Amino acid sequence: MILSKQRPDGGWSIRTFGAPDQWGSGNRAEKLRSEPEFENPPSDGHQTGLAIVVLRESGVAATDPRIQKGIHWLLTNQRASGRWWTRSLNTDKWHFITYSGTALPLLALSKCDALPAGNVKTAAK
């Protein structure tokens, strides 16, 4: 199931793992459905990191081409701040999920021995 939801860019999107009615007690379903990216949501750090961690824990090799595509997405989508952006599905004000959207990519990179020295220092800030 996880591999079937990998985006063409190599990442995963949290928005593809649940219906809008399941987010924010369902009170944001109409808003989420009306957004231009609803049918084609972008990949994000939280879900890409989580997907890679789960796949690695289930025995998928770090050298698997699908994992490597995900690693490439992580390495090319880290922000200058060291974080990976993940937009909240529950609010438009605070995006606290960006914290797990940074921790999970770091764990994923670690599980694939793909932590570049420069990124570790930047992400630790």
Q: Where are the domains of the chain?
A: 3-13+45-123
Q: What tens digit of pLDDT does each residue of 62-112 get? A: 999 999 999 999 999 999 998 998 887 776 777 788 889 999 999 999 999
pLDDT at residue 119 is higher than 60: no
pLDDT higher for 12 or 89? 12
| Residues 6 or more apart whose Cβ sits within 8 Å of residue 61 | 67
How many Å apart are CA 22 and CA 3, to the nearest integer? 21
pLDDT at 5: 97
- Other beta carbons less than 10 A from residue 110's beta carbon: 13
Say if residue 9's pLDDT is above 80: yes
